[in-house]
């Protein structure tokens, strides 16, 4: 249930503010009684409410009286203060991430070997977009199976988002697909890729008749390799991510000759 404490008030401050709204102008002593805030704490609580700009005081009266600002005004002030606090925290977190990024990159192993796997459509997509986000220099994407076409179609929004972000941070993206894969894609999917990616100078898409498997080569050192469903090769079953320079070099040697012999594709004209 929503509470004034969610917007930054203490329990005593919330009680005192609600009591002031009910009572109208009142003294600290009377407010302590109606709000059940101990008398020894009531002035600190009132000072806190004044800092939140939730109460006004009538200093000329003896004893001094306090009145609550209207709820709509008070809640707007609390919301504004909370948003400012969150913005400041977001900036601090961003600075922390930037600092940690430099520290962690400086200690990262240069020739580490590692592999992981994801099974199922959602898990596979999560792994793929994570590794696309990790690219610093290059992404070489090969789609050689009908399942690749389904992946490009069903996950097009998130994949395009991440490819576009990679292009904007300077990553070179090469997309190599077979004509069969292109033929499986609806016009709207092709138009989405074309409209959002083709204007980048560091993006290119080509077709080649012979591509073995479906994979993404990341920075020349890591490979996301799609595993087709053994019971239905037109469906993806899983994805394996391997960080191994030797294996990645072998994949690059498969990709590059085919890329050089492939035909540039103007997506809207070819479909």
Mean pLDDT of all residues belonging to the chain: 84
| Phi-psi label, residue 221: left if phi above 0, alpha if psi -120 to 50, beta otherwise | alpha
Does residue 140 have a pLDDT over 80?
Answer: yes
More confident of the two residues 104 and 128: 128
Are 1-105 and 115-264 in the same CATH fold? no
Predicted local confidence at residue 3, as pLDDT: 87
The CATH number of the structural domain formed by 1-105 is: 1.10.10.10
Per domain, the residue ranges of the chain are: 1-105, 115-264
pLDDT per residue over 212-251, tens digit each?
778 899 999 999 988 876 666 556 678 889 988 888 999 9
Beta bridge partner(s), residue 225: 215, 240
Query: Beta-carbon neighbour count of residue 27 at 10 Å?
Result: 16
Residue given tokens 């035909």 in the structure block: 263
**Residue 104 neighbours by CB under 8 Å, 6+ apart:** none
From CA 221, how far away is CA 127, in angstroms rounded? 16
Of 39, 35, 29, the residue nearest 16 (C-alpha): 35
Does residue 268 have a pLDDT over 50?
Answer: no
CATH ID of 115-264, from 3.40.190.10, 3.30.2290.10, 3.30.870.10, 3.40.470.10:
3.30.870.10
Quick check: helix, strand or coil at residue 169? coil
């Amino acid at each position: 249930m929503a509470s004034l404490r969610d917007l930054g008030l203490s329990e005593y401050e919330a009680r005192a503010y609600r009591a002031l709204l009910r009572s109208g102008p009142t003294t600290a002593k009377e407010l302590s009684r109606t709000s059940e805030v101990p008398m020894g704490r009531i002035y600190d609580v009132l000072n806190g409410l004044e800092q939140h700009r939730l109460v006004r005081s009538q200093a000329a009266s003896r004893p001094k009286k306090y009145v609550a600002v209207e709820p709509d005004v008070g809640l707007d002030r609390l919301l504004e203060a909370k948003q400012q606090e969150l913005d400041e925290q977001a900036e601090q977190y961003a600075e922390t991430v930037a600092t940690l990024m430099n520290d962690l990159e400086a200690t990262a192993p240069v020739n580490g070997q590692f592999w992981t796997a994801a099974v199922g459509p959602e898990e596979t997509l999560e792994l793929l977009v994570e590794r696309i986000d990790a690219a610093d220099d290059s992404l070489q994407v090969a789609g050689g199976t009908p399942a690749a076409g389904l992946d490009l179609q069903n996950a097009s929004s998130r994949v395009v988002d991440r490819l576009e972000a990679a292009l904007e941070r300077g990553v070179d993206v090469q997309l190599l697909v077979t004509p069969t894969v292109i033929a499986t894609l609806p016009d709207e999917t092709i138009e989405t890729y074309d409209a959002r990616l083709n204007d980048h100078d560091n993006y290119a898409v080509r077709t080649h008749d012979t591509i073995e498997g479906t994979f993404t080569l990341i920075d020349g050192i890591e490979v996301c390799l799609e595993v087709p469903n053994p019971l239905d090769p037109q469906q993806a079953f899983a994805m394996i991510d391997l960080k191994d320079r030797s294996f990645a070099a072998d994949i690059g040697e498969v990709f590059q000759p085919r890329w050089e012999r492939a035909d540039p594709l103007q997506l809207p004209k070819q479909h």
